[in-house]
Structure 1
Amino acid sequence: MKKILVMAALAICSFANAQKGTILVGGSIGYSSETRTLGNNEVKNNEFDFSPKVGYQFHDNWTVGGEASFGSSKTKQGTNEDKFNTTKLGAFLRYTMPLNPTFSFFAELGLGYQSEKDKTYAGPITTTAEGDGMYVGVTPALFINMKKGFGLNFNIGGLSYGTINYENNGPEYKNFDFNFGRTFNIGVSKNF
């Protein structure tokens, strides 16, 4: 539970409600580490994710920009090791609705390209699987203006769909995720 709280504390940093003509810079960073015993073997897992965003508020309520995400995980069990890397590059469109000078609600639509690479070391045998596809997602959130453009962002999940097609006649994955209430993210933001 502590690891989840630490990851949540580090994880989300997004944009704030801004004025027309402003540049928004933000993103998220997350890290988790876990060690457990499975039978007589110790299993170690480390995960890291970095997701920057840059946007331009072209209207008092509308922001458009680019987003990216770079993630990696490594799982080691005995002499076996699995390295998994993900990359996402895309765009987002955000609509912000001020509720009062302190609170604003926003909904963000993001879409773009994604890729995955999975490299497995099982003794002397190494296998690699690579795939790419697309993603689209909608995330609602609440912004709380703390002072001079600094604020906190809260969201409790969203709606997403993604595909990954692996090379060399590999498998094709389609994922639909409706996770309202299953995740909780807190962010810090600044308007420029």
Structure 2
Amino acid sequence: MKKFLIVAALAICSFANAQKGTVLVGGSIGYASETRTLGNTEIKDNEFNFSPKVGYQFHDNWTVGGEASFGSSKTKQGTNEDRFNTTKVGAFLRYTIPLNPTFAFFAEFGAGFQSEKDKTYTGPITTTAKGDGMYVGLTPALFIDMKKGFGLNFNIGGLGYSTINYDNNGPEYKNFDFNFGRTFNIGVSKNF
């Protein structure tokens, strides 16, 4: 509760907004770990994600830039192990509506290329699957200006579509995702 009050106080005392001609640098980092038991077998899951972003604010309300995302996950069940790596590289366009000197609402449209690599170790046998595709997403979010252009970004989901086609006549996946209220993300950004 103390941390929330400190964040709220900093947000109320701040009066800086991003301006035309500034550079936006931001991103997010995530890590999750879970251990569970299925029968007599222990299953361990680890996941890491890093998503940097750089943009140029060419108008008081408009920002354009590049985004990337790098993810890695590993599931270990007994002697079997599955490693999954993802990479996304694309561009984004953001429209921001200042609500007051501290808070702003923005909607961000992003699109780009994505690739996946899945390695499965089953005893002495290793199988590898590779695929690539595209992604498109629209995410509404809230920006809280903490001090001098440094801020926090909050969103609770968005709308997205992606495809992945695996090599060697592998499967093709198409995914439409409407996840408002099912996810919660926090990011950090700074305008220079």
- TM-score, structure 2 normalization: 0.89
2:140 maps to amino acid: P
Percent sequence identity is 89
Task: Report the equivalent of 2:68.
Answer: 68
Task: Report the equivalent of 1:89.
Answer: 89
Task: Report the equivalent of 2:135.
Answer: 135
Q: Contact conserved, 2:28 with 2:186, CA < 8 A, in 1?
A: no
- Gap runs ≥5 in structure 2: 1-15
**Root mean square deviation, CA, Å:** 1.2
Task: Report the equivalent of 2:79.
Answer: 79
The CA distance in 1 between the partners of 2:31 and 2:148, in whole Å, is 29
Secondary structure of the 1:169 match is coil
Q: CA offsets, 1:81-132, max 9 Å, x none? A: 0000000000000000112212211000000000000000101111111000
**TM superposition shift of 1:17:** 5.6
- TM-score, structure 1 normalization: 0.89
| 1:142–1:49 distance in 2 versus 1, CA, 3 Å | same
**TM superposition shift of 1:185:** 1.7
The CA distance in 2 between the partners of 1:146 and 1:168, in whole Å, is 50
The CA distance in 2 between the partners of 1:173 and 1:91, in whole Å, is 22
**TM superposition shift of 1:153:** 1.7
Task: Report the equivalent of 1:13.
Answer: none
Q: Contact conserved, 2:67 with 2:92, CA < 8 A, in 1?
A: yes
The CA distance in 1 between the partners of 2:62 and 2:25, in whole Å, is 15
Task: Report the equivalent of 1:52.
Answer: 52
Q: Contact conserved, 2:32 with 2:47, CA < 8 A, in 1?
A: yes
Task: Report the equivalent of 1:182.
Answer: 182
1:62 maps to amino acid: W
The CA distance in 2 between the partners of 1:63 and 1:17, in whole Å, is 13
The CA distance in 2 between the partners of 1:53 and 1:129, in whole Å, is 28
The CA distance in 2 between the partners of 1:111 and 1:71, in whole Å, is 17
Q: What is the number of residues matched between the two proteins? A: 177
Q: CA offsets, 1:47-83, max 9 Å, x none? A: 1111110100011110000000110001111110000
Q: CA offsets, 1:10-69, max 9 Å, x none? A: xxxxxx962111111111111111111111001111111111101000111100000001
